[in-house]
Amino acid sequence: MLCLPRASLLAALALLVAPAARADAPPSDGARWWKHVEFLARDALQGRETGSKGYREAAAYVAEQLAAAGVKPGAGESYLQEVELQSRRLVEERSRLALVRGGKEVPLTLGQDALLSSRVGEPGPVDAPMVFVGYGLSIPEAGHDDLAGVDLKGKIAVILQGGPEKIPGALRAHHGSTAERVKVLKQAGAVGLVTVQNPKLVEVPWERTAGARKQPSMMFADASLNEDQGLKVTVTVNMAHAQKLFVGAPHTYEALVALANADKPLPKFELPARLKAELAFETAPVKAANVVGVLPGSDPMLAREYVVISAHLDHVGVGEPVKGDRIYNGAMDNASGVAAVLEVARALQASETKPKRSVLFALVAGEEKGLLGAKYFAARPTVPASSLVADLNLDMFLPLTAFTHVVAYGLEESTLAEPLRQVAAAHGVKVQADPRPHRMGFVRSDQYAFIREGVPALAFKFGSEPGSKEERLQLRWYREHYHAPSDDLSQPVSKEGAAKFVRMLADLTRAVTDAPERPRWNESSFFRRFAKGAGQGAEGVQP
């Protein structure tokens, strides 16, 4: 893929955005949306890291905007649902990583050869043999099990990033999530996990990924909520140095990547080396808050049910400088989504007829730390769990161009697809399924927390025609701006495209809130198993 310098990308963006300014929405709609983005992504908020002063200022702003729009507090008498967390930072000066081959230690340089996870791992020493187990996926529903017949007890599983193409993207993404991987590896007796990058699937340059390692991870202070703990060590290996793991092995790194890219079965074999590591962490308590507002429904019965519109409020804060800039503003990720939620709230409250079901607006913390705020809200909602009927999630919806296509994550999974298709058609927008399921987008944002609690959900991004200049622009954005300081207010965006998206989302929300029946998982959906008596037990819930 061609990677343009930033100046070239900005020029390309400007050319694509400019024509839309003459056609789409009234400028005031886009200007209102952009005003929220400007506040949330300004340098003064220092990248809105969960629990930081900048995050608290962002939360206060969002609460004020909801109140000004006439939206009521959604966490009792407050807009804030407090979440107790713990930060954990790897102390590299007291940590180390090495391969032991033939009795000799071969040190691996942290940040250059590999990364040690500060989230999934335990303090202290690790010394264990390694076994390559393909993708490390155990998916009974698809008849696929990379761990079958492999002795992993007391060993470290080495896997290649990705999964078989024959397995549906959402199912592969679910089983490839950190929590599911840790669960099956623990059941197999493994003590650690090493993930080797596949160049075809890498989104962010290694230099940027390595720089982010110095930022703290976070987990719940309540250990019972942490689903991804239990392995002693978790490592990500730089693809440029991955062959170091496979010296003397039956297969080279390059050969394994070639098999994966040809969608051929991957072998399983023991590696002729042990992994030796020492991990040391610094921990600290963190207080954060989800911002929750509610627009009560107008129907006496349906108002007892809630449609959630969610977006994460946090970003990654201040990190390693890139071209002298240390502030990771997160304009697209995800000030844009929060701004859209605020504008949908304003539009619904201002409408002459109010939605029949109630609408919960959830601007959540800790998405960048593992969907923490959304997991907390979905597990401990501020309304009865049985009354949550749907989640519509926004995360970095990328209004870079005119709004002509919408990608809907979860399109094939529930009855939410039908109202989306109808509303999108009315706006002249083409609906698309996830065009790049290998990115695992279905489980990488806050909708997944609701899905795991049985709530049908969709998440959205601007789409494009395959091979178009719009698609190339979106792909370049990921390469150059995703989790980078350049995701700031200087990048051209389509305010008119964003305003049109907000109008479509408001209409979709109305379609879901006013439908006679609550959304359901499709009979064929794997995620239907998470439903917890949907359609039953909502009686007595008060808006």
What contacts 193, CB < 8 A, 6 or more positions away?
A: 120, 136, 156, 157, 159, 181, 182, 185, 231, 233, 234, 235
What does pTM read for this prediction?
Answer: 0.89
Q: What is the arithmetic mean of pLDDT over 234-262?
A: 97
Please give the Cα distance from 371 to 313 (Å, whole number). 11
Q: 498 near 448, Cβ under 8 Å? A: no
What SS3 state is found at 324?
A: coil
pLDDT band for position 26 (cuts 50, 70, 90): very low
Each residue's pLDDT tens digit, 379-399: 999 999 999 999 999 999 999
Whole-number pLDDT of residue 535: 41
In order, the DSSP letters of 79-133 are SEEEEEEEEEEE-GGG-EEEEEETTEEEE--BTTTEEE-SSS--SEEEEEEEEEE
pLDDT band for position 27 (cuts 50, 70, 90): very low
Whole-number pLDDT of residue 170: 85
Q: 71 near 349, Cβ under 8 Å? A: yes
Backbone angles phi, psi at 314, to 5 degrees: -85, 160
Backbone angles phi, psi at 54, to 5 degrees: -65, -40
pLDDT band for position 188 (cuts 50, 70, 90): very high
Cα separation of the two ends of the chain: 50
Share of the chain above pLDDT 90, in %: 86
Q: What is the arithmetic mean of pLDDT over 132-146?
A: 95
pLDDT band for position 354 (cuts 50, 70, 90): very high
For residue 420, pLDDT beyond 80: yes
DSSP 8-state secondary structure symbol assigned to residue 151: -
Whole-number pLDDT of residue 436: 85
For residue 129, pLDDT beyond 90: yes
What SS3 state is found at 230?
A: coil
Q: What is the arithmetic mean of pLDDT over 111-117?
A: 97
Q: What is the arithmetic mean of pLDDT over 252-277?
A: 97
